[in-house]
């Protein structure tokens, strides 16, 4: 017998779930002989790729990890004293292992279905409580993308909220001591919407200027100085001028919080709350404000409501005020943010508690004071009168370069500015680091070394001005005072995790969300120190591994999309949209076409499309769709020609949000080009294109990619994500830049995100996916995604109307079930969504892009067995609806209207429903084998909005609840 030693373990066989036998059975159900026949019937022939993707051969999982470890080894881990909002931190092991590295947390989706998301909703309430109490503001949202974009959101919200007396005001003053990357993002955000951004010393501020609507300061500022802004705020209120603070969350354990000074908005990052630097991200930014702005605040807010049984429950509050839902009337395009990182930061505060946070903050401040004291002994002048974690040393240029050389030899990175060196301390530093700093400075000036007794005196006097010391308590809720031992913390995390349905339980078939496998091998490198412990502004030679990976990933994504180059900076899909439009805007302006400001957007587009267009300073014109779900070409032509002289772009999703490959797509793109516009393709549905067609092939000029969809970055319960943009050759010069690191093109637009490469530390996930799949695997994944969708379509078509299909009756990678007819028996699509929970499934996308429908996207990672379970559940629910139609079940009290059914309800002594407990809880045999119990029954959304509470529930509320029950 001959034995082959060639490895046959292909990663694509792990990622793509259906076996060859299952594929043949599915094809038979669909009514075609081969997968190729199905693809030919689905994707128009004229847009199919003419050659295979030119990508490296697929690697095995073991080979990938070995090779990436070599690349990662080219990164150098130096101790960072750079600061600027990025700090080394100590990630508690219980949080790293049980949240960051736990698929029960990272494979969940945004908690739209709150009854099966109570765990992460509670975790986000913790985060909001941490932010609102440390800042002393009324409420906080559930995270934003980074500090720079949070500052941009603050400026935009305040601009939109100007009082009547200031409606003509358009000037926003920003202290020059705000972080440079934040200034850059503010610049990007201000210009297209007509805000006059003034960046200058605070001493030049004229509060009486009638054109002034807002002021922003950094607290502590970029130099580390802690300033007293109370008088500034009093003067601002007198002049009806808003005030915004960018702040350091940890510093507020010791410093007087901005809310107590009277600030209107407080933003910042929670990165140093146990989230690694990761070469810039991902991290959870925060946004806190006064209650009067609750309907203008960007992003999502988690609030408290009650379920049908009166039990306290969490949900996303005020969902109708989410800015992107307002489409072209929005002031923000924020959709997904940084939930997983917000959960980590909130749990860091839970684990340490208020006293622990004070100890950490005191240690950080003490190290800075100690370093200042010892450097002053050497004769150096420390500039900052009051500071928290950063000292500023005056030094001449010659000595500065000597210090730089000695510091690098000791593997330390300082921040160097003209005639100054700045040192920022964090919780990962200690006395030995102060000693090393002393030695570096003493060697550079040939001063005698410090003796040990100098460091033996570890008691130091605070350098925080007495009037700015915090006197108020914070985080007094029981959750922040109980879980300080690892066992208690571990069990708390597990209790929350067990309340949430994620991909570890069952398929999540959310249309337009692409909830595919997040392979363990792809995830492993994220927490490698070589990727997680680098500062984004570290010298480039210390990040050679990152840059090598970036270049390969840019090349691969450009090849996949058919474009010339890629920017990895946008750190969400919505940021990608905005970046793409800003690049188009810069292109037009470079050609002298500043008047081109009209964007055509199909009525079926996601709400972030028009919101992004408005943010880019463009005017939105909506184009209708025809009764087949396609863009109405005649209407498009009329509008394009009517706006020909001012047309900037068309935003189009392909295949369409209706789940159809529009056959006229190349004609559509050509029409826009003929009218002088550019074509922006939304990459939300790229999972139906990779390897078979491309944005470049259809005629687009720029697209964004949701790496958290098509390229396997997990959704994290609502973030992180990445939205890089890929562009044609003529747009390459305008790709976004960064004030610290050379990125982008020759005529780069200003920064879109705070960090030069967005959420860099999660890019190894997408890099790994492409490296291990190769051309064949990627193409097969796309084919299987289309196969799985059409299989579900074939199974459900006899039971539900399918709303849209292509010209040959095929769906793309997603499809829409029309549930509107069930209204005749008072069944809403929401009832179907809630009933699916009883079967152990998360609902497909509800009422998007068409109200009263379900949009289903199974992805290639689901087996036929899982697809059959889902179809069985949907068919059983249809029969339950039929029972109502035929009068066998009550219209007002039935298994759909009362869904979901909790364990406590099913085992209660009283059972007052006109159906059995078994029908409620175990409607099909497979449910009994692995039952997932929702932890609350259906939540009263209106109650939560009428009684808005966005922080931890007081302990006594639970006691009242027990009495009621």
- Predicted pLDDT of residue 606: 81
757-778 tens-digit pLDDT: 999 999 999 999 999 999 999 9
- Predicted pLDDT of residue 446: 72
Contact predicate 845/511, CB 8 Å: yes
Cα 628 to Cα 605: distance, rounded to the nearest angstrom: 15
Q: Which of 73, 113, 72 is nearest to 854 (CA)?
A: 113
- Predicted pLDDT of residue 665: 97
- Predicted pLDDT of residue 959: 43
- Predicted pLDDT of residue 609: 92
198-213 tens-digit pLDDT: 999 999 999 999 999 9
657-715 tens-digit pLDDT: 999 999 999 999 999 999 999 999 999 999 999 999 999 999 999 999 999 999 999 99
**Mean pLDDT (whole number) for 403-428:** 98
Q: Is the pLDDT reported for residue 533 higher than 50?
A: yes
Confidence of residue 961 (pLDDT cuts 50, 70, 90): very low
In terms of phi and psi (left: phi > 0; alpha: psi -120 to 50; beta: otherwise), the region of 136 is: left
Helix, strand and coil in the chain, % to nearest 5: 45, 15, 40
739-749 tens-digit pLDDT: 999 999 999 99
Alpha-carbon torsion (784, 785, 786, 792), positive or negative = positive
153-189 tens-digit pLDDT: 999 999 999 999 999 999 999 999 999 999 999 999 9
Strands (E), 611-768: 619-623, 647-653, 678-682, 702-704, 725-727
Torsion angle defined by CA atoms of residues 383, 387, 389 and 394, in that order, rounded to the nearest 10 degrees: 0
- Predicted pLDDT of residue 332: 77
**Mean pLDDT (whole number) for 711-721:** 96
Confidence of residue 960 (pLDDT cuts 50, 70, 90): very low
382-413 tens-digit pLDDT: 999 999 999 999 999 999 999 999 999 999 99
Q: What b/e readout covers 800-834, taking b as 16+ CB neighbours within 10 angstroms?
A: bebbbbbeeebbbbbbbbbbeebeebebbbbbbbb
Q: Is the pLDDT reported for residue 322 higher than 60?
A: no
DSSP character string of 161-174:
T--GGGTT--EEEE
Q: Is the pLDDT reported for residue 963 higher than 80?
A: no
For the chain, helix (H) and strand (E) counts, in that order, are 33, 25
CA distances from 856 to 508, 526, 782, 818, 932 (A): 9, 30, 16, 11, 21
Strands (E), 61-165: 79-80, 139-140
Alpha-carbon torsion (837, 843, 846, 852), positive or negative = negative
Cα 610 to Cα 616: distance, rounded to the nearest angstrom: 10
CA distances from 668 to 61, 585, 675 (A): 42, 20, 11
29-86 tens-digit pLDDT: 999 999 999 999 999 999 999 999 999 999 999 999 999 999 999 999 999 999 999 9
The full 3-state SS of 2-21, as one line of letters, equals CCCCCCCCCHHHHHCCCCHH
457-467 tens-digit pLDDT: 668 999 999 99
Cα 846 to Cα 509: distance, rounded to the nearest angstrom: 11
> What is the average pLDDT value for the chain, to the nearest integer?
95
Contact predicate 668/656, CB 8 Å: no
Confidence of residue 335 (pLDDT cuts 50, 70, 90): confident
Q: Is the pLDDT reported for residue 102 higher than 90?
A: yes
- 727 beta partners: 565, 702
Cα 181 to Cα 697: distance, rounded to the nearest angstrom: 36
Backbone torsions φ then ψ of 306, nearest 5 degrees: -135, 155
- 416 beta partners: 421
- Predicted pLDDT of residue 448: 55
Cα 53 to Cα 75: distance, rounded to the nearest angstrom: 30
Q: Which of 706, 634, 697 is nearest to 665 (CA)?
A: 697
**Mean pLDDT (whole number) for 717-727:** 96
The residue with greater pLDDT, 640 or 957, is 640
Residues 6+ apart with CB under 8 A from 452: none
**Mean pLDDT (whole number) for 472-501:** 98
Residue 274 corresponds to which tokens in the numbers above?
């146990």
- Predicted pLDDT of residue 962: 40
Contact predicate 859/687, CB 8 Å: yes
- Predicted pLDDT of residue 2: 80
Q: Is the pLDDT reported for residue 7 higher than 70?
A: no
Weakest mean pLDDT among 113-127, 148-162, 595-609, 862-876? 595-609
Contact predicate 157/334, CB 8 Å: no
Alpha-carbon torsion (947, 951, 956, 957), positive or negative = positive
Residues 6+ apart with CB under 8 A from 545: 71, 72, 73, 74, 75, 530
The full 3-state SS of 392-452, as one line of letters, equals EEECCHHHHHHHHHHHHHCCEECEEECCEEEEECCCCCCHHHHHHHHHHHHHHCCCCCCCH
| Cβ count near 774 (within 10 Å) | 21
Cα 463 to Cα 220: distance, rounded to the nearest angstrom: 13
586-615 tens-digit pLDDT: 999 999 999 999 999 998 888 789 999 999
Q: Which of 879, 848, 878, 841 is nearest to 862 (CA)?
A: 841
292-307 tens-digit pLDDT: 999 899 999 999 999 9
Cα 263 to Cα 267: distance, rounded to the nearest angstrom: 11
Backbone torsions φ then ψ of 620, nearest 5 degrees: -100, 130
Q: Which of 816, 851, 846 is nearest to 833 (CA)?
A: 846
Q: Is the pLDDT reported for residue 476 higher than 70?
A: yes
For the chain, what percent of residues have pLDDT higher than 90? Answer: 91
- Predicted pLDDT of residue 950: 75
**Mean pLDDT (whole number) for 536-562:** 98
Query: How many Cα atoms occupy the beta-carbon half-sphere of 921 within 13 Å?
Result: 19
- Predicted pLDDT of residue 456: 62
Confidence of residue 895 (pLDDT cuts 50, 70, 90): very high
Confidence of residue 783 (pLDDT cuts 50, 70, 90): very high
- Predicted pLDDT of residue 590: 98
For the chain, what percent of residues have pLDDT higher than 70? Answer: 96
Cα 121 to Cα 269: distance, rounded to the nearest angstrom: 20
Long-range CB contacts for residues 800-805, cutoff 8 Å, separation at least 24? 800/874, 800/878, 803/629, 803/658, 803/850, 803/853, 804/628, 804/629, 804/658, 804/659, 804/660, 805/659, 805/660
């Amino acid at each position: 017998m001959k034995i082959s030693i060639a490895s046959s373990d292909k990663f694509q066989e792990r990622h793509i779930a259906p076996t060859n036998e299952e594929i043949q059975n599915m094809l038979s159900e669909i009514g075609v002989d081969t997968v190729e026949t199905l693809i030919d019937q689905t994707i128009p022939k004229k847009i199919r790729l003419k050659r295979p993707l030119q990508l490296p051969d697929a690697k095995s999982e073991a080979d990938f990890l070995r090779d990436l470890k070599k690349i990662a080894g080219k990164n150098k881990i130096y101790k960072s004293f750079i600061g600027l909002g990025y700090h080394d931190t100590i990630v508690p092991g219980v949080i790293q292992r049980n949240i960051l590295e736990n698929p029960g947390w990272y494979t969940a989706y945004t908690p739209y279905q709150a009854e099966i998301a109570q765990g992460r909703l509670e975790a986000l309430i913790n985060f909001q409580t941490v932010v609102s109490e440390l800042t002393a503001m009324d409420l906080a949202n559930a995270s934003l993308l980074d500090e720079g974009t949070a500052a941009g959101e603050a400026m935009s919200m305040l601009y939109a909220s100007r009082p009547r007396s200031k409606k003509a005001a358009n000037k926003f003053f920003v202290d020059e001591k705000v972080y440079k990357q934040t200034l850059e993002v503010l610049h990007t955000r201000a210009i297209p919407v007509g805000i006059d951004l003034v960046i200058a010393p605070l001493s030049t501020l004229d509060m009486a200027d009638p054109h002034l609507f807002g002021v922003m300061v950094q607290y502590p500022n970029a130099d580390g100085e802690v300033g007293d802004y109370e008088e500034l705020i009093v003067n601002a209120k007198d002049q009806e001028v808003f005030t915004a603070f960018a702040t350091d969350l940890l510093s507020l354990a010791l410093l007087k919080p901005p809310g107590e000074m009277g600030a209107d908005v407080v933003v910042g990052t929670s990165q140093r709350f146990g989230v690694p630097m990761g070469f810039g991200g991902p991290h959870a930014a925060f946004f806190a404000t006064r209650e009067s702005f609750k309907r203008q605040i960007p992003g999502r807010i988690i609030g408290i409501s009650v379920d049908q049984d009166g039990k306290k429950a969490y949900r996303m509050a005020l969902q109708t005020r989410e800015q992107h839902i307002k489409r072209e009337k929005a002031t923000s395009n924020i959709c997904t943010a940084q939930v997983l990182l917000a959960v980590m930061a909130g749990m860091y505060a839970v684990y340490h508690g208020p006293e622990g946070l004070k100890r950490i903050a005191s240690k950080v401040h003490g190290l800075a004071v100690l370093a200042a004291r010892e450097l002053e002994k050497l004769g150096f002048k420390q500039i900052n009168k009051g500071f928290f974690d950063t000292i500023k040393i005056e030094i001449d240029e010659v000595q500065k370069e000597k210090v730089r050389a000695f510091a690098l030899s000791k593997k330390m990175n300082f921040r160097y500015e003209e005639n100054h060196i700045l040192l920022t301390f964090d919780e990962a530093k200690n006395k030995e680091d102060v000693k090393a700093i002393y030695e570096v400075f003493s060697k550079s000036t040939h001063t005698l070394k410090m003796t040990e007794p100098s460091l033996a005196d570890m008691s130091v006097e605070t350098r925080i001005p007495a009037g700015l010391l915090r006197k108020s308590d914070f985080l007094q809720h029981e959750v922040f005072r109980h879980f300080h031992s690892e066992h208690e913390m571990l069990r708390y995390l597990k209790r929350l995790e067990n309340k949430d349905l994620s991909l570890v339980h069952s398929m999540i078939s959310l249309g337009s969300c692409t909830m595919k496998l997040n392979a363990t091998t792809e995830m492993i490198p994220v927490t490698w120190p070589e990727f997680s412990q680098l500062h984004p502004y570290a010298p480039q030679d210390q990040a050679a591994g990152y840059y090598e990976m970036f270049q390969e990933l840019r090349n691969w994504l450009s090849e996949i999309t058919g474009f010339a180059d890629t920017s990895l900076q946008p750190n969400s899909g919505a940021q990608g949209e905005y970046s793409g439009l800003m690049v188009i805007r810069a292109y037009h302006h470079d050609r002298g076409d500043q008047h081109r400001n009209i964007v055509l957007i199909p009525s079926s587009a996601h709400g972030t499309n028009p919101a992004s267009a408005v943010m880019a300073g463009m005017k939105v014109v909506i184009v209708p769709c025809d009764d087949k779900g396609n863009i109405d070409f005649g209407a498009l032509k009329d509008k394009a020609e009517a706006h020909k002289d001012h047309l900037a772009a068309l935003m189009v999703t392909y295949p369409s949000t209706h789940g159809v490959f529009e056959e006229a797509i190349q004609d559509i793109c050509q029409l826009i080009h003929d009218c002088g516009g550019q074509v922006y393709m939304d990459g939300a549905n790229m999972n139906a294109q990779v390897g078979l067609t491309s944005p470049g092939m259809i005629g687009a000029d720029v697209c964004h990619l949701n790496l958290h969809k098509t390229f396997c970055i997990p959704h994290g319960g609502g973030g992180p994500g990445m939205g890089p943009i890929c562009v044609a050759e003529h747009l390459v010069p305008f790709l976004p830049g960064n004030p610290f690191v050379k990125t982008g093109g020759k005529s780069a637009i200003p920064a879109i995100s705070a960090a030069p490469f967005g959420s860099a530390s999660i890019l190894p996930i997408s890099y790994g996916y492409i490296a291990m799949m190769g051309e064949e695997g990627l193409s097969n994944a796309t084919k299987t995604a289309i196969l799985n969708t059409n299989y579900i379509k074939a199974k459900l078509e006899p039971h539900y109307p399918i709303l849209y299909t292509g010209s040959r009756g095929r769906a793309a990678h997603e499809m829409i079930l029309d549930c509107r007819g069930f209204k005749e028996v008072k069944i809403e699509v929401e009832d179907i969504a809630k009933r699916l929970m009883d079967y152990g499934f998360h609902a497909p996308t509800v009422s998007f892009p068409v109200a009263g429908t379900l949009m289903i996207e199974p992805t290639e990672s689901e087996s036929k067995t899982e697809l059959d379970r889902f179809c069985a559940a949907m068919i059983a629910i249809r029969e339950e609806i039929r029972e109502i139609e035929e009068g066998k079940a009550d219209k007002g009290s039935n298994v759909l209207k009362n869904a979901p059914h909790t364990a406590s309800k099913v085992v209660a002594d009283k059972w007052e429903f006109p159906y059995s407990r078994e029908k409620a809880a175990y409607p099909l045999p497979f449910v009994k084998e692995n039952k997932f119990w929702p932890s609350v029954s259906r939540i009263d959304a209106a109650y939560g909005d009428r009684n808005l509470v966005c922080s931890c529930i007081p302990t006594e509320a639970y006691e009242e609840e027990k009495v009621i029950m």
